Amino acid sequence: MRQIIYVSTLRHGVVPDTAGIVASARRRNAEHRLTSMLFFDGRRFLQALEGEAKAVEATFARIAADPRHHALIQLSDRRIDRREFGTEGLAYRAPLQADLAAMARMAVLAAHSGPAEQAGFASFAAPLVRAA
């Protein structure tokens, strides 16, 4: 299996339909047997995608091409033996529902990336951790 973790920024002027994004992602993830953890703070997305390599690659490529966001930074891309973020098709957390265990796991994985990626993760995670 493969796991990709990324952070991206909502484009200026885009008003996201969070409920629609979550519903669509849950449907697609179920179709492709993917699991994921998604955090959205109103401006940035942080997501871990897990599943069979081809399905993860195709989903990540579709996400990267989505014009609603930009500045996509891949924090981690690695092979995994088992799912690390649960069995839910898409676990979604809003800022005040931050799952600190999942956030801590993403921090560990981001720590193995470069300085720019670590800074991107830190700028996303710090407000969520303070709010929890």
Res 11: pLDDT: 95
- Overall pTM > 0.85: no
CATH code for the domain of 117: 3.30.70.100
Task: Identify how many contiguous H helices and E strands the chain contains and give both numbers.
Answer: 4, 5
Q: Are strands 2-10 and 69-79 parallel, antiparallel or unpaired?
A: antiparallel
Report how many domains make up the chain.
Answer: 1
Domain span at 9: 2-131
The Cα–Cα gap between 96 and 5 comes to 21
pLDDT tens profile 5-57: 998 999 999 998 999 999 999 999 999 999 998 888 888 888 999 999 999 99
The Cα–Cα gap between 73 and 109 comes to 13
Single-letter residue type at 22 = V
Average pLDDT over residues 1-8: 93
Q: Is 68 helix (H, G, I), strand (E, B) or coil?
A: coil
The Cα–Cα gap between 132 and 122 comes to 15
